[in-house]
Structure 1
Amino acid sequence: MGKIKRVSAYFLLSIAAVISIFPFMWIVVSATNRSADVSKGKLLPGGHLLDNMRNLAESINIGQSLWNSARISILTTIIALLIASIAGYGFEIYRSKAKDIIFNVLLLSMMIPFAAIMVPLYQIFAKFSGRLPLIGIDTVTSVILPTVTTAFLIFFFRQSSKMFPREMLEAGRMDGLSELGLFFRIFVPTMKTTYAAAAIITFMSSWNNYLWPLVVLQSPEKRTIPLLISNLGSSYSPDYGMIMAAIVISTLPTALVFFFMQKHFVAGMMGSVK
C-alpha cells in the first residue's frame, strides 16, 4: 500500500513538473522555428535558431537593453538588501512599542497597489527633471528609487532576525564592537542564506519589472529588456520566432542566478518562517 502511495505521489508530481516546465520548453522550441510555424503551434524543434538570432541582432540593439536591465537590477538588489536588512535588523533587535507601531503601518503599505501611487511618483520625479542631473524622468535613478526596497523585504529580514542568536551580539559588545560592527561583522555573515534568498527575489523582480520603467523611461536607448520585448510584439506583423529568441535570452540571467543560488534560496526561505 505504501509503495502505491509513493508511485501515485511521484506520478502526480511528474505531471505538475511537466505542466510547470512546458511554457518555457515551448518558448525554447519556438525560438528554433519560423514565425509561421510558431503561429501554427508547432511543438517540434526547427532549424531556424541562428536565423532568428541574426534577425534579432540586426533589427534591435538587444545588448544595450540587457545592459540596462542588468545595471538597474544589480544596483536595486545591492541597495535594497542593505536598506531592508538594516531596517529588519533594527525593528527586531531594538524593539519598542513605537517601532512596532511603525512596522505595522509599514505592513499596511503592502495593501496599496503600485498603480495607485504611480501618478504621484511620476509627478515627483518630473519636478526634479532638469534640476538634478541624476534624478528625474528618463534616468536610471528614477527606476531604482521607487523599487529599492519594499515592506515585504523588510518583513522578511525581520522574521529572519527572530532566529538570530542574541548571545553573539552580547559577545561582540563585550569584545568592543560598535553597533555597526555587530551588524556588518556578525549579523551579515551569519544570515548569508537570508541575503541570498532576498537577493534572488529582488533581482528577479527588478529584472522583470515592466510597468514603472514603461512610464518613466522615454529614450529608446534606455529601454530595459521587458520593454524591448513588448515593443517587438506590438509591431504590425511581429516575427514570433525572433520574439521567442529574445525571450529565451532575457530569461537566461534570472535562471542562472536562481540555479546557482537555489540551495541558499531554499535555506533562506525555510529559515524565515520557522
Structure 2
Amino acid sequence: MFCGATNPSIDIIRGKLIPGTYLLENLKTLLDNQNLLLALWNSVKNSVIVTVLTLLVCSLAGYGFEIFHDKYKDRLMSVLLIAMMLPFVATIVPLFKMFSKMHLINSTAALILPTISTPFMIMLFRQSARSFPHDIIEASRLEGLGEIRIFFTMFIPVMRSTYGAAATVTFMNAWNSYLWPKIIFQSNDSITMPMLVANLKGGYFVDYGMLMLGVLICTLPTAIIFLALQKSFANGITGAVK
C-alpha cells in the first residue's frame, strides 16, 4: 500500500513493489479531485465524539450492572447479550425510519445515537467491574463520597486499562464505519474517509496510485491509536487491574 502510494497507476498495474517518487503527484491529484481535508476533519470529529460518549455511557452501565445487583438488572443484561446476536444491517431500515420521523437525517446526532451504547462494551465494562476491589467502594462510602464521585475518582483511574482497550475498539469501529454514515448523511459536506476512499473507485478509470494513497491516509490514524494504546488494549482485554 505504501509503495503503491508513491508510484503512478501504470507502475502499480505492472506490479512494481518498490517505493517510487510519485507521492506528491498522487497527493496533488487526491486533493484536486476529492475534499480530503473535510473528510479527515469529519472522520476525526465523529470518531472522537463517538468514542468519548461510548466510554462514558457504557462504563456507567457496566459499573451499575455489576455493583448494584438486582434480579431485574440481570434479566435486562441477558436481553442485551441476546441483542449482540442481531446484526446491525437488520436494524438499519427501522433506524432510518425512526430518525427520519425525528427529522435528524443528515445530522451528527443520527450518526452517534445508535452507536454510543453497545452490548459488547457494556459487557466488557461489567466484566472488568467484577475485578474492581469492593473494599474501595465501601471505604469511599464511609468517607461520605457519593456514588457518582466514587465512579469518577475511584473506578475510572483503576480501570484505565479497560478504558484503553474500549477506546481502541470504539475509535477503530467509528473511524472505519461506512454503511451507516453513507445512509444517514445525504450531503457532500458530511463525507468521511471511508466514503472518500469508496468514491476513488468510481467511474471507468481507477487511479491506483491515488487510491493507495487515500487508503494509506485512512489507515494511519487507526494504526497510530492502536500502537499508542496496545499495552492498555492487551491488559484491558485480559481483565488486568493495576
Structure 2 vs 1, CA of residues 148 and 45 (structure 1 numbering), >3 Å: closer, same or farther?
A: same
1:218-260 CA-partner distances (Å, limit 9, x unpaired)? 1111111000110111222111100110111111111111111
Task: Say which of 39, 59, 63 aligns to 2:37.
Answer: 63
Matches within 5 A, 1:46-195: 46-129=20-103, 136-195=104-163
CA distance in 2, matches of 1:150, 1:75: 15
Matched with 1:214 is 182
Q: What residue number does 2:230 align with?
A: 262
Which amino acid letter does the alignment assign opposite residue 71 of structure 1?
K
Give me the whole-angstrom Cα distance separating, in 2, the residues matched to 1:159 and 1:43: 46
Give, as a single letter, the amino acid of the residue that structure 1 aligns with 2:10.
A
Aligned residue-pair number: 241
Computing the radius of gyration from Cα coordinates, the structure with the larger value is 1
CA contact (8 A) 2:39 2:196 kept: yes
Higher relative contact order (CA 8 A, sep 6+): 2
Q: Which residue is 1:197 aligned to?
A: 165
Q: Could you tell me how far apart the structure 1 residues matched to 2:197 and 2:132 are?
A: 43
Report if the CA contact (8 A) 2:42-2:191 is conserved: yes
What secondary structure sits across from 1:47 in the alignment? coil
Structure 2: distance between partners of 1:257 and 1:86: 23
**Fraction of identical pairs, as percent:** 46
Q: Under a length normalisation based on structure 2, what TM-score does the superposition of the two structures give? A: 0.97
Partner SS state of residue 233, structure 1 = coil
Distance, in Å, in 2 between the alignment partners of 1:144 and 1:39 is: 39
Secondary structure, aligned partner of 2:145: coil
SS in structure 1 at match of 2:105: coil
Indicate the RMSD between aligned Cα atoms, in angstroms: 1.2
Q: Distance in 2 between matches of 1:73 and 1:80?
A: 10
Instruction: Give, in whole Å, the separation in 2 of the partners of 1:33 and 1:54.
Output: 13
Secondary structure of the 1:147 match is: coil
CA distance in 1, matches of 2:15, 2:127: 46
Tell me the CA shift for residue 40 of structure 1: 2.6
Query: 1:35: which partner in 2?
Result: 9
Summarize deviations over 1:156-192 as a string: whole Å, max 9, x none. Answer: 0001011000000001001000011111111011101
How far apart in 2 are the matches of 1:125 and 1:239? 37
2:64 is aligned with what amino acid? G
**Inter-partner Cα distance in structure 2 for 1:125 and 1:42:** 48
Q: What's the offset of the Cα at 1:272?
A: 6.3
Q: How far apart, in 2, do the equivalents of 1:236 and 1:150 lie? A: 40
Unaligned runs of 5+ in 1: 1-26, 130-135
| TM-score computed with the length of structure 1 as normaliser | 0.86
Moved >3 Å (runs of 4+): none
| Larger CA deviation: 40-49 vs 136-145 | 40-49
Q: Conserved in 2, the CA contact under 8 Å of 1:159 and 1:272? A: no
Where do 5+ consecutive residues of structure 2 fail to align? none
Partner of 2:113, secondary structure, is helix
Instruction: Give the structure with the higher percent helix.
Output: 1
Give the whole-Å Cα distance in 2 for the aligned partners of 1:111 and 1:257: 28
The aligned amino acid for 2:73 is K
